Amino acid sequence: MDHLYAYLAELAARGILPEALRYPFVARGLFAVVLLAPLLGGMSHLVVARRLAFFSTALGQAALTGLTLGLLAGEPINAPYGGILGFCLCSAILMVYVKRRSRLPPDTLIGVFMALTLGLGICLLVAATKQFNIHQIEAVMFGSLLTVTDTDLLLLAVAAVGVLAVLARFYNALLLDSLGRPLAAAAGVDTALVEYLFVVLLTLAIVVSLKVIGALLVEALVVVPAAAARNLARSTRGYLGWSVGSALVTGVAGIFLSSRFRVPTGGAVVLALAACFFVTLASGSLLAGRRGDGR
What pLDDT digit, counting tens, does each position of 33-73 carry?
A: 888 888 888 898 888 888 888 888 888 788 888 888 887 88
**Mean pLDDT, the chain, integer:** 83
Q: What is the DSSP code string of 147-208?
A: G--HHHHHHHHHHHHHHHHHHHHTHHHHHHHHH-HHHHHHTT--HHHHHHHHHHHHHHHHHH
pTM attached to this predicted model = 0.86
CA–CA distance, 130 with 208 (Å, rounded to integer): 26
pLDDT at 137 over 70: no
Q: Which of 206, 250, 197, 198 lies closest to 224, judged by CA?
A: 250
Q: Which of 50, 25, 78 lies closest to 258, judged by CA?
A: 25
Q: Which of 128, 59, 55 lies closest to 87, judged by CA?
A: 59
Q: How far is CA 290 from CA 42, 118, 276, 294, in A?
A: 29, 47, 21, 6
Burial class (CB in 10 A: 0-12, 13-18, 19+), 123: exposed
Give the domain CATH number at 17: 1.10.3470.10
CB 224 within 8 A of CB 45: no
The full length of the chain comes to 295
What are the residues whose beta carbons fall under 8 Å from the beta carbon of 5, sequence distance 6 or more?
24, 27, 28
pLDDT at 217 over 80: no
For 240, the domain range is: 2-294
What are the residues whose beta carbons fall under 8 Å from the beta carbon of 78, sequence distance 6 or more?
147, 149
Q: Report pLDDT digits (tens) over 142-188.
A: 666 667 788 888 888 999 999 999 998 999 899 888 888 888 888 88
Count of C-beta atoms within a 10 Å radius of residue 113: 20
Q: Which of 77-86, 207-216, 265-274 has the highest mean pLDDT?
A: 265-274
pLDDT at 97 over 50: yes
Q: Which of 169, 173, 222 lies closest to 193, judged by CA?
A: 173
Q: How far is CA 282 from CA 169, 241, 275, 288, in A?
A: 35, 19, 11, 10
- pLDDT attached to residue 295: 44
Q: Report pLDDT digits (tens) over 232-247.
A: 888 888 888 999 999 8
Question: How many structural domains are present in the chain?
Answer: 1
